[in-house]
């Protein structure tokens, strides 16, 4: 937590909730369009620093490089990362110049310094956002009892909750906490796994990183998914990074159809070709087994190991004869904005349509009726399947920044 962080004011024009890559993208784009806004916004995040959770997760899973190409990052100049990487060409990985985790970290620190944002994050946990009754804006209630009044608020938080299969939530299930974990709770750097057998549930890239990290620490790994494990470069087709698919998505008037398009585009979890190649190599060496088209039916902790029963499949033996020492759930996040407690007062004051937990926002990603803007996966109905990605942050800025900087739009939003 920086000692020189901006003090909490009583009133501010713009409050940005969250200090991840999307929030950083918004701030740099805002300042590029209107430098005078520097004194009119605050950034609120429990960590008190930029991108703390992002960097922690990449380090905890020992992810070597990003899945997004080098043109996707928080700086307004799309070529800035490539220029920054010129002395470090070996840290841009083929086939699309994917930046190494270290390179991206250093670049983001450079962005923060160049835009003079080092001390702009206030350590604060926003608990409730309450619309003001007699004047425009919101009152933000913080976890420590402090309050802040803001004319406009931008939510730049992930907001997902770890998804756990039904069997892992059984009330009678009893086990040591470190023996059944969601991937978000695993820190490979702290583990010694020699001689253990680990079951990893899920088919996405996170499961691949966990498997490689566990094998490197001496574990035997079983990867299980209800589908076939498969590889593709990006989590959504590259056509979603431009007008090829986005044009048709934006032209679709039915919000339910848009939601279906998002699900189809992401198509569950996938591995990159590079990670799949490494996993297949480990499979040939006897360190890894894939269980396709299978899922856990029940699991019971027997004092030193799990006894797991899976739903029968045709291409492998059941797990019931094997001791499983740990189970890691690489089962993603569930995003339901309707369940966010901090927005309860906004939902009550300004009812809006919803689709599967996602809000129907206006063209500027604004909550209809008030000056609350939403970034990230929560804005997917407007931005498409890449809303939560780095490129999604840039798409969000294209919509939000004009509404925050252009007087004519600001006046229209107040009307």
| Cβ count within 10 A of residue 264 | 10
User: 408-411: long-range contacts at Cβ-Cβ below 8 A with a sequence spacing of 24 or more?
Assistant: 409/364
Q: Looking at the domain that runs over 11-50+117-160+335-414, which CATH code has it been given?
A: 3.50.50.60
Q: Give counts: helices (H), strands (E), the chain.
A: 12, 20
Given a cut of 60, whether residue 413 has pLDDT beyond it is: no
Q: Encode burial over 305-332: b for 16+ CB neighbours within 10 A, e otherwise.
A: bbebebeeeeebeebeebebbbbbbbbb
List, for residues 54-65, the tens digit of each pLDDT value: 999 999 999 999
Contact 402, 409 (CB under 8 A): yes
CA atoms of 370 and 372, how far apart (whole Å): 6
CA atoms of 185 and 178, how far apart (whole Å): 9
Contact 23, 16 (CB under 8 A): yes
In 3D space, the residue among 26, 185, 200, 179 whose CA is nearest the CA of residue 115 turns out to be 26
List, for residues 354-410, the tens digit of each pLDDT value: 999 999 999 999 999 999 999 999 999 999 999 999 999 999 999 999 999 987 666
DSSP 17: E
Alpha-helical runs (H) found in 269-335: 273-284
List, for residues 212-243, the tens digit of each pLDDT value: 999 999 999 999 999 999 999 998 888 998 88
11-50+117-160+335-414 and 164-232+270-332 share one fold? yes
386, HSE (Cβ side, Cα atoms, 13 Å): 23
Taking the whole predicted model, whether its pTM rises above 0.85 is answered as yes
CA atoms of 5 and 7, how far apart (whole Å): 6
What pLDDT, on the 0 to 100 scale, is given for residue 410?
A: 60
Given a cut of 50, whether residue 267 has pLDDT beyond it is: yes
- Mean pLDDT rounded to a whole number for the chain: 94
Hunting for tokens 């004011």 — which residue is that? 9
CA atoms of 14 and 36, how far apart (whole Å): 12
Q: How confident is the model at residue 37 (pLDDT cuts 50, 70, 90)?
A: very high
What pLDDT, on the 0 to 100 scale, is given for residue 21?
A: 98
CA atoms of 104 and 22, how far apart (whole Å): 14
Tokens for 195, please give them: 């001689």
Domain limits, the chain:
11-50+117-160+335-414, 164-232+270-332
E-assigned strand segments in 202-274? 220-224
296-301 vs 306-310, strand pairing mode: antiparallel
Write the class of the CATH domain 164-232+270-332.
Answer: alpha beta
């Amino acid at each position: 937590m920086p000692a020189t962080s901006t003090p909490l004011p009583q009133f501010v024009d713009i409050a940005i909730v969250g200090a991840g890559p999307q929030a950083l993208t918004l701030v740099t784009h805002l300042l590029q369009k209107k430098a005078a806004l520097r004194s009119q916004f605050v950034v609120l995040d429990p960590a008190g620093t930029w991108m703390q959770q992002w960097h922690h997760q990449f380090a905890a899973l020992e992810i070597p490089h990003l899945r997004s190409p080098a043109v996707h990052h928080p700086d307004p100049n799309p070529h800035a990362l490539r220029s920054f990487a010129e002395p470090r060409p070996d840290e841009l990985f083929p086939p699309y110049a994917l930046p190494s985790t270290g390179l991206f970290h250093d670049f983001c620190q450079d962005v923060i310094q160049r835009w003079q944002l080092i001390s702009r994050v206030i350590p604060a946990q926003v608990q409730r956002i309450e619309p003001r009754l007699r004047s425009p804006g919101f009152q933000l209630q913080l976890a420590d009892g402090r309050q802040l009044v803001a004319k406009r608020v931008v939510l730049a938080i992930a907001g997902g909750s770890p998804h756990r299969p039904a069997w892992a939530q059984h009330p009678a299930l009893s086990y040591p906490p470190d023996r059944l974990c969601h991937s978000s709770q695993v820190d490979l750097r702290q583990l010694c796994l020699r001689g253990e057998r680990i079951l990893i549930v899920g088919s996405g890239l996170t499961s691949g990183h966990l498997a490689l990290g566990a094998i490197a620490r001496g574990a035997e790994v079983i990867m299980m998914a209800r589908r076939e494990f498969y590889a593709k470069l990006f989590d959504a087709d590259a056509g979603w990074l431009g007008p090829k698919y986005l044009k048709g998505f934006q032209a679709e008037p039915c919000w339910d159809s848009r939601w279906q398009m998002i699900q189809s585009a992401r198509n569950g979890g996938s591995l990159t070709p590079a990670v799949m190649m490494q996993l297949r190599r480990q499979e040939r060496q006897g360190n890894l087994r894939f269980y396709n088209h299978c899922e856990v039916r029940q699991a019971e902790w027997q004092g030193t190991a799990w006894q797991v029963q899976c739903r029968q499949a045709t291409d492998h033996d059941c797990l019931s004869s094997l001791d499983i020492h740990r189970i890691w759930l690489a089962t993603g996040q569930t995003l339901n904005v309707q369940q966010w407690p901090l927005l309860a007062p906004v939902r009550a004051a300004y009812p809006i349509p919803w689709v599967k937990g996602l809000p129907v926002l206006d063209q500027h990603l604004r909550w209809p009726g008030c000056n609350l803007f939403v970034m990230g996966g929560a804005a997917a109905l407007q931005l498409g399947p890449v809303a939560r990605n780095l490129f999604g942050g840039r798409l969000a800025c294209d919509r939000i920044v004009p509404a925050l900087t252009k007087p004519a739009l600001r006046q229209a939003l107040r009307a």
